[in-house]
Amino acid sequence: MDGVLSDTYAQYIIWYERDSGIKKTREDVIGKPELEAFPKVREYLYTDGFFRTAPVIADSQKVLARLQEQYEIFIVSSATEFPQSLTEKQAWLGEHFPFISWKQMVFCGSKTIIQADIMIDDHLKNLDHFSGETFMFSQPHNLLWQGPKHKRVNSWLEIENTLL
């Protein structure tokens, strides 16, 4: 969800500029872990409203709606580390992805227990443990990663072209 549907970087940039007066760009933080890129991230992740008000990643709504006509979709989100995020994430999905029902939501800590055919994620720690096909969704923190193990996708339009 974060970094694939929810534009966490856009939210980092907005909150960081609001707090520090400094406007960082995605280019400024390429290859850096999120916690390093925005020193206050850890605090933000525990702050009410951070997840609830995050922008939506371009084209994710229309492409996911189309995918759902042919695939069984689950939204699996790391959330239990930040307990306040649970209801925020469910409400956010309800607002921006109303075609995703509660039956399709999974809020967890580790994704190692998830079984499916395809995983789209921005983190190696999730993709590396998955037994099915893996798509790495590009975000600044993973842009320097190269390898044959996961197929890189740079946008939802690329996902659409690949899966539909």
Q: How many residues bind its own copies (CB under 8 A)?
A: 26
Tokens of 55: 């922008």
Q: What is the DSSP string of 60-90?
A: HHHHHHHHTTTS---EEEE-TTSTTHHHHHH
Please tell me whether residue 108 binds its own copies under the rule CB under 8 A: yes
Token pair 């229309």 is at which residue?
62
With the CA atoms of 76, 141, 156 and 75 taken in that order, what torsion angle do they form, in degrees rounded to the nearest 10? 0
Please tell me whether residue 90 binds its own copies under the rule CB under 8 A: yes
Read off the DSSP letter of residue 136: E
Query: CB under 8 A: which stretch of 50-58, 62-70, 79-87, 148-156 binds its own copies?
Result: 79-87
Tokens of 75: 């939204």
> What minimum distance in Å lies between the beta carbon of 161 and its own copies?
25
Read off the DSSP letter of residue 57: P
73 or 163: CB nearest its own copies: 73
Phi then psi for residue 76, to 5 deg, are -110, 115
Tokens of 39: 């020193």
Please tell me whether residue 86 binds its own copies under the rule CB under 8 A: yes
Please tell me whether residue 102 binds its own copies under the rule CB under 8 A: yes
Please tell me whether residue 47 binds its own copies under the rule CB under 8 A: no
Question: Of the candidates 10, 30, 56, 114, which one interacts with its own copies according to CB under 8 A?
Answer: 114
The contact set with its own copies (CB under 8 A) reads 74, 76, 79-81, 83-84, 86-87, 90-91, 101-110, 113-116, 131
